[in-house]
Structure 1
Amino acid sequence: MKEKQLVEIEDLQKLCEQGTFSLKLNWDTLRSRVGKAGEDFFYYEGNKLVGYMAIYDFGGKIELCGMVHPHYRRQGIFTKLVKKALQTAKKREPRAILLNAPAKSESAKMFLATLPCRFDMAEYQMQWQETELTDYEGVTLRPSNEEDRDLEIQLDVDCFGFLQHEATSYYKLLKEEGLNTLVIVYEEQAVGKIRVEESDGEAWIYGFAITPAFQGKGIGRKVLKQVILEQQKKGNPIYLEVEATNPAALKLYESCGFKSYHQQDYYVYLGSDPISQHLL
């Protein structure tokens, strides 16, 4: 991807959303792809970007998310992009391919109805609202290093359902993309991780996990409050994402002042052939 294409993607995203829903394009990942190829698919009319599709590799699962300019829809552009993305995704032999669509996008629902897929889960995008924060001492955060490799991999296995080889592959991918993780330390022991990405005046929280043996001790709440306070000092609005099927995490975030503002729906692709007859 070229630097210029990042600007084109951002402009197209604004046109497609128009304040009614939010596309999940994982901008921290997109920025790391400049100079690389194979993960992004573009459709141009002349010199104008009118269609875009990205694939995101999360260990054993691959997510697809894309968009088409409102004036160029119903011309088969999105179908062509999906075909190309599925071809690439299937070659990696993932456990699942997920199609990501904003819950409020009627055009996305209509398209998904033509594919062999089923609804899998909903994910809430949340933003922190001004809330008084207390009782956040007793844990510390430090940058991860090579000695934390096994811990980070095991946390993805224990907390996010990765298989061991998937977690190892995902760990390597994050390092290659330059996405840095913070290690959570409690009573001089590394017990978890969290990633905070700052970009365009916003802060996003990802990969927040506490090792099972230390869950239920209030560590996660203290960590979250520390991150919020640090970003609040910088003047950054703070965002995160949580699956609707994770009520414990949802309750934790809400107790610290996060409110849901968008919902993303995920559909599992069921086709065995990346060039399914449903896309012809």
Structure 2
Amino acid sequence: MDRIKVRQAVQADTEQLADLRALVLREDLTRLGRYDEIRVRERFRNTFHPEHTHILEQEGILMGCVALKPVEGGLLLEHFYIHPKYQGKSLGTKVLNLLLEQEEVRGKGITLNVLQGSPAQRLYERFGFIVDHEDEVDVFMTRNN
């Protein structure tokens, strides 16, 4: 990814990433009647683990983040947010390619959830994720390697 720096997240990134989450999810959560300015950030803070999170930057500007966390039975892909300014430019595709090519990811099942009606679901389907189950807010997907 040309000129894009991928770095390990640190605890000091928490608020900037919580704000990114709020920005990225606002439209979908509003459509679902679930957007809450405070809660959207709190949910990030409560599940953020910098040791499992990577940040995408270009010339010091935050472009996105992604977390891949070990869980029982495989890995959990979460907090995959691309700043709206950089969406639609194949950045999500490039990031998923890089993640799925990692040695520690090969052979492991990956789970994730995406908001109902989110265009991100199509991206995950292109990478072999299938719908496991869903509720009125989320679509839960899995990919077995």
Instruction: Mark yes or no: TM-score above 0.5.
Output: yes
1:264 aligned partner: 134
Partner Cα distance (1:178, 1:155) in 2 = 15
Alignment coverage as a number of residue pairs: 128
Q: 1:240/1:231 Cα in 2 relative to 1: closer, same or farther (>3 Å)?
A: farther
Which of 172, 191, 203 is the equivalent residue of 2:75? 203
Normalised TM-score (structure 2): 0.70
Contact preservation (8 Å) 1:141, 1:185: yes
User: CA shift at 1:167, angstroms?
Assistant: 3.8
Residue equivalent to 2:8: 143
Runs of 4+ in 1 over 4 A off after TM superposition: 177-180, 231-234
Residue deviations 1:92-138 (CA, integer Å, cap 9, x gap): xxxxxxxxxxxxxxxxxxxxxxxxxxxxxxxxxxxxxxxxxxxxx44
TM-score (structure 1 length as normaliser): 0.39
Indicate the residue corresponding to 1:255 in structure 2.
Answer: 126
Query: Aligned residues: percent identity?
Result: 22
Q: Report if the CA contact (8 A) 2:74-2:110 is conserved.
A: yes
Residues 59-79 of structure 1 show CA distances to partners (whole Å, capped at 9, x for unaligned) of xxxxxxxxxxxxxxxxxxxxx
Unaligned runs of 5+ in 1: 1-136, 268-280
CA contact (8 A) 1:184 1:223 kept: no
CA distance in 1, matches of 2:42, 2:36: 10
Q: 2:67·2:78 contact (CA, 8 Å) conserved in 1?
A: yes
Letter in 1 for 2:38: H
Q: How many Å apart are 1:224 and its aligned residue?
A: 1.0
Q: 1:178 to 1:212 in 2, by over 3 A?
A: closer
Q: Contact (CA 8 Å) 2:11, 2:50: kept in 1 or not?
A: no
Shift in CA distance, 245/190, structure 1 to aligned 2, threshold 3 Å: same
What's the CA shift for 1:258?
2.2
Partner of 1:193: 65
In the alignment, the residues of structure 2 paired with residue 226 and residue 186 of structure 1 have an alpha-carbon distance, to the nearest angstrom, of 17
Provide the C-alpha distance between the structure 2 equivalents of 1:243 and 1:164, rounded to a whole number of angstroms: 17
Structure 2 Cα separation of the partners of residues 230 and 254 of structure 1: 19
Cα distance change, pair 168–257 in 1 and its aligned pair in 2 (3 A): closer
Match of 2:99 among 227, 238, 241: 227
Letter in 1 for 2:112: L
Unaligned runs of 5+ in 2: 27-34, 138-145
Q: Which protein shows a greater Rg?
A: 1
- Letter paired with 2:17: E
- Find 1:237's aligned residue among 109, 129, 138: 109
Q: 1:178: how far off?
A: 7.6
Paired with 2:104 and 2:13, the residues of 1 have a C-alpha distance of: 28
For residues 251 and 237 of structure 1, the distance between their equivalents in structure 2, rounded to whole angstroms, comes to 19
After TM superposition, give the deviation of residue 244 of structure 1 in Å.
3.2
Is 1:172 the counterpart of 2:45 in the alignment?
Answer: yes
Give me the whole-angstrom Cα distance separating, in 2, the residues matched to 1:145 and 1:178: 5
Distance 1:231 1:239 in 2: 17
Q: In 2, distance between residues paired with 1:144 and 1:226? A: 17
Amino acid at match of 1:250: Q
Q: 1:231 to 1:190 in 2, by over 3 A?
A: farther
Residue number in structure 1 paired with 2:88? 216
Check 1:242–1:231 CA distance in 2 against 1; reply closer, same or farther (3 A cut).
farther
